[in-house]
Amino acid sequence: MASDMIINHQERAHALLKADADKILRLIKVQMDNLTMPQCPLYEEVLDTQMFGLSREIDFAVRLGLIEVSEGKVILAQLERELSILHEASLKK
Amino acid sequence: MASDMIINHQERAHALLKADADKILRLIKVQMDNLTMPQCPLYEEVLDTQMFGLSREIDFAVRLGLIEVSEGKVILAQLERELSILHEASLKK
């Protein structure tokens, strides 16, 4: 039971971080579809703020021993890849 | 053993958040002593960014069930109180 809870903390940390990364992707997608261009400083500021928030969460989870450094890097790299696909698609519109 | 590890995660989350709050306080103290005035936009931006980072960490710990919402509020409120004491002291110089 208690060791289930430990696994649960680790799995939950990973799931929360993935969900937060997905939230950033959705936010940026909505922003691209409706509001501003990628060239707009506001867009960059929102993205920077969100990426900073996520990287602080990841760093915190690593320091707690809930995820590996490499797992955190994978989450960030995947988000950056998806954002760059979005960005390129918006430039072709 | 396993339940020790759970308590350890909770205690460690709390200790990390307190340490991060203290780091912000030290950073702002150094900045006030050496670099810029509280009226400077750069000062406010650094402080805002740091407070945002800490609040994201606290929110993440709450969502993981590692700290209570009220504990997170106490950490932020204490930091704000200490910052405002620093700020007032710097105005009297």
- Residue B66, min C-alpha distance to chain A (Å): 9
pLDDT tens digit string along B17-54? 999 999 999 988 888 777 656 566 677 888 899 999 99
- Helices B2-34/B41-63 angle, 10° precision: 170
Name the 3-class secondary structure at B7: helix
- Helices B41-63/A41-63 angle, 10° precision: 50
Contact A56 B61 (CB under 8 A): no
pLDDT tens digit string along B77-86? 999 999 999 8
| Chain B CB contacts of A61 below 8 Å | 60
- Tokens 């053993």, located at residue: B1
Q: Is residue A38 scored above 70 in pLDDT?
A: no
Q: Which stretches of chain B sit within 8 Å of chain A by CB?
A: 2-3, 5-6, 9, 12-13, 16, 49, 52-53, 56-57, 60-61, 63-66
Contact A9 B49 (CB under 8 A): no
Q: Is residue A44 scored above 50 in pLDDT?
A: yes
Question: What domains, with CATH codes, occur in chain A?
Answer: 2-92 (1.10.287.750)
> How high is the pLDDT of residue B81?
95
Confidence at B5, pLDDT banded by 50, 70, 90: low
> How high is the pLDDT of residue A18?
96
- Residue A51, min C-alpha distance to chain B (Å): 11
Name the 3-class secondary structure at A48: helix
